[in-house]
């Protein structure tokens, strides 16, 4: 079975600091990769996704992620965080079975202090 691990459960940053959230998955086949964000009191929203092609993908709100197949990683980055980025971030994987099933990491709670 697949699994997804997110390296940090809680991250605290000051505004304008750079962000990198780690995500590793365990599946040897073709994968689709996602980062979702859950702002306080809101539902899960897609930040970005990787299906194929350029391994560096850009998402909304200045976020980007890089797929490194050899490291089974899909790390999320943002050069300069804002207070409004305070949220919980989830990495998710979908394999090539044809199902929509997403396997999620446990999430990383990001707190950005003004």
Partner 1 sequence: KAGVTQTPRYLIKTRGQQVTLSCSPISGHRSVSWYQQTPGQGLQFLFEYFSETQRNKGNFPGRFSGRQFSNSRSEMNVSTLELGDSALYLCASSSLPTDEQFFGPGTRLTVL
- In the complex with partner 1, the residue whose CB is nearer, 19 or 33, is 33
Smallest gap from residue 42 Cβ to partner 1 (A): 8
Beta-carbon contacts of residue 81 (< 8 Å; ≥ 6 apart): 13, 15, 16, 17, 18, 19, 110, 112
Told to check if 40 binds partner 1 by CB under 8 A, we report no
Q: Give the one residue of 53, 54, 100, 114 binding partner 1; rule: CB under 8 A.
A: 100
- In the complex with partner 1, the residue whose CB is nearer, 43 or 114, is 43
Told to check if 104 binds partner 1 by CB under 8 A, we report yes
DSSP secondary structure of 15-67? TT--EEE-EEEE-SS-EEEEEEEE-TTS--EEEEEE-SS-SEEE-GGG-EEEE
- Contact range with partner 1 by CB under 8 A, out of 18-26, 28-36, 63-71, 73-81: 28-36
Told to check if 53 binds partner 1 by CB under 8 A, we report no
């Amino acid at each position: 079975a697949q699994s997804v691990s997110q390296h940090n459960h809680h991250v605290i940053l000051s505004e304008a600091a750079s962000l990198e959230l780690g995500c590793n998955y365990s599946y040897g086949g073709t994968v689709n990769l996602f980062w979702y964000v859950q702002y306080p009191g809101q539902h899960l929203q897609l930040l970005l996704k990787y299906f194929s092609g350029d391994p560096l993908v850009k998402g909304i709100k200045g976020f980007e992620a890089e797929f490194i197949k050899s490291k089974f990683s899909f790390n999320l980055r943002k050069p300069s965080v804002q207070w409004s980025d305070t949220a919980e971030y989830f990495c998710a994987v979908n394999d090539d079975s044809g199902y929509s099933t997403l396997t999620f990491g446990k999430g990383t709670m990001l707190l950005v202090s003004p």
